[in-house]
Amino acid sequence: MSQLFSPIDIRGIRARNRLWVAPMCQYSAEEGMPNDWHHVHLAQFASGGAGVVITEATAVSPEGRISPEDTGIWNDAQRDAWRPIAAAIRSRGAVAGIQLAHAGRKASTWSPFTGRRGTVPASEGGWQTVAPSAVAYDGFEEPRALEIAEIDALVADFAAGAARAVAAGFTVLEIHAAHGYLLHQFLSPLSNTRTDEYGGSLENRARLLLRIVEAVRGAAPDAAVFVRFSATDAAEGGWDVAQTTTVAGWAAQRGADFFDISSGGLVAHQRIATGPGYQVPLAAAVRAAGVGPVGAVGEIVDGPQAEAILRSGDADVILAGREWLRDPHFALRAATELGDAATDLWPVQYVRARPTR
């Protein structure tokens, strides 16, 4: 058996393989409610052989949405709407995961489907954004700096979202601390200019994330808790790999089980050279620090490439996004490419189509 199609256990939760679906925003919800689009979109990846399927960034409060069309988990109606979706993922053999998120200063933005960029005004359904500091993302409205009491409320929002997610049937909970959203904004000195206990030193900038990891672990003791990091801001004076590995270690001590490593998104002047597997070295650096199992992502498009990354020891798991959109049966194809029978991946309804050579 290939490494890609070997199982992995994280906090007692077994994924049937190591080719997973990364969170991908769909901008298709109303009032935070997932719908038939999300159901079919996510369930098809499980039918296609994914080991874990993780939902899009799902806001823990209304103002945490990236756009007015993002999904949420801040009320019980949303919990109930997620329940059949999580069940559909599980019934097709995959582990159901949800990404708990808050967009901070990058919230209240136009969906890319509109062709517009920037902050949605209140008159058109937008809202006042919040952040660690009143420092705007390029082209967006200036956010309001969070007060201490509001930070405490945010921790409670993540815990409540975690409890609802577990009640909905999710067993993987990923805390979104990447791509320039709120927790990444606290981590990076480029966006966090606070002078209180949440700003300045690395310990202070990491304080909110670590409190949230503890709160989510407390609210969901049996779930696997992931953290998604952007391992670099790719900008001078910003967040970097060394800080990522340090904070990942602290998060592991507080109950995080797995680290999903991406990059960028904090500032518009970032400089990132893309290409096949371009973010894998970031995952490798975090994994080498021994903080726990790590996932690699970024232009990973076929079975042999994914297998080579695992065999090199650079990552424990492969996450992909766009390749799953191009081919919702990516895992079935990758197994064929590797000459791995992986018969258990094929839904019985599809076995007649399985290549014989």
Determine contact, residues 57/99, Cβ cutoff 8 Å: yes
pLDDT for position 107: 98
Residue 58 CA: distances (Å) to CA of 22, 63, 96, 158, 313: 13, 11, 14, 11, 31
Residue 155 resides in a domain: yes
Residue 340 scores a pLDDT above 90: no
Residue 3 resides in a domain: no
Residue 208 resides in a domain: yes
| Tokens 């959109």, residue located | 325
Largest CA distance in the chain: 64
Candidates 27, 137, 181, 198; catalytic one: 181
pLDDT in tens, 190-224: 999 999 999 999 999 999 999 999 999 999 999 99
Classify 307 as helix, strand or coil. Answer: helix
Fill in the amino acid letter for 282: L
Fill in the amino acid letter for 16: R
pLDDT in tens, 17-29: 999 999 999 999 9
Active site residue 27: no
Residue 342 scores a pLDDT above 70: no
Instruction: Report the sign of the C-alpha dihedral through residues 263, 64, 292, 317, in that order.
Output: negative
Residue 171 CA: distances (Å) to CA of 15, 111, 203, 286: 11, 29, 29, 24
**Containing structural domain, residue 153:** 8-353
Total count of domains within the chain = 1
Token pair belonging to 235: 């900008």
Report the CATH number at residue 337: 3.20.20.70
Helix spans in the chain (H): 36-47, 76-91, 148-168, 182-187, 202-205, 207-219, 241-253, 280-288, 303-311, 322-326, 330-337
Q: How many CA atoms lie within 13 A of 198 on its CB side?
A: 23
Backbone phi and psi for residue 175, each to the nearest 5 degrees, phi listed first: -90, 125
Of 244, 252, 207, 264, which Cα lies nearest the Cα of 225? 252
**Cα 205 to Cα 335: distance, rounded to the nearest angstrom:** 42
pLDDT in tens, 230-254: 999 999 999 999 999 999 999 999 9
Residue 1 resides in a domain: no
Determine contact, residues 256/274, Cβ cutoff 8 Å: no
Residue 307 resides in a domain: yes
List the end-to-end C-alpha distance of the chain, in Å, as a whole number. Answer: 16
Residue 131 resides in a domain: yes
What's the average model confidence in pLDDT over 87-99?
98
pLDDT for position 356: 75
| Nearby residues of 139 by Cβ (< 8 Å), 6 or more positions away | 117, 118, 268
pLDDT in tens, 15-61: 999 999 999 999 999 999 999 999 999 999 999 999 999 999 999 99
Residue 241 resides in a domain: yes
pLDDT for position 357: 66
Determine contact, residues 283/315, Cβ cutoff 8 Å: yes
